[in-house]
Amino acid sequence: MEDVVLEGGCLCGAVRYRIDGPVRNPCFCHCASCRRATGAPMVPWGTCAREALQLVRGRLSEFRSSAEVSRGFCARCGTSLTYRHAARAGEIDVTLSTLDDPTLLPPRMHVWVADRLPWMLIGDDLPQHPASGTPAG
């Protein structure tokens, strides 16, 4: 998944985005913070360069969920769209399930599995990391 321009957006369509650049590190996050932010038991994320993510329509509202983390969402419908961490200033994470074609970027690992809900059963053979799968989280 290197040379394809990906597009996606929120539930109501007010926010539309395009990713013009490689997406790395597609993963499922099981952390409690992502759960609260999205209402889902785990969330698929992918990471791209900050400048690769372009808003085609609308704007992101942001909520600072911790001192270093800002979560982007649509203010109209509430769809969770992005995650920015101060330790990774040049990057931004995008919820892969908001892509128009989420099948293009299947997650390749599970992170924050220590927070996994007991009824959220993992049925694949992907690597599982107890916390973040990368040094900067």
Please report how close the Cβ of residue 112 comes to Zn ion at its closest, in angstroms: 6
Does residue 69 bind Zn ion (CB under 5 A)? no
DSSP 38: H
Of 122, 92, 73, the C-alpha closest to 23 is: 92
Distance between CA 65 and CA 72 in Å, rounded?
10
Please report how close the Cβ of residue 3 comes to Zn ion at its closest, in angstroms: 28
Q: What mask of x and - would describe binding to Zn ion in positions 22 to 41, judged by CB under 5 A?
A: -------x-x--x-------
Q: Give the bridge partners for 82, in sequence order.
A: 72, 94
Choice from 16, 18, 24, 76 touching Zn ion (CB under 5 A): 76
Does residue 113 bind Zn ion (CB under 5 A)? no
The Cβ-side half-sphere exposure at 31, using a 13 Å CA radius, reads 16
Which one, 19 or 34, has the nearer CB to Zn ion? 34
Residue 101, judged by CB atoms within 10 A of its CB (0-12, 13-18, 19+), counts as: exposed
Which one, 34 or 105, has the nearer CB to Zn ion? 34
List residues near Zn ion by CB under 5 A: 10, 12, 14, 29, 31, 34, 74, 76-77
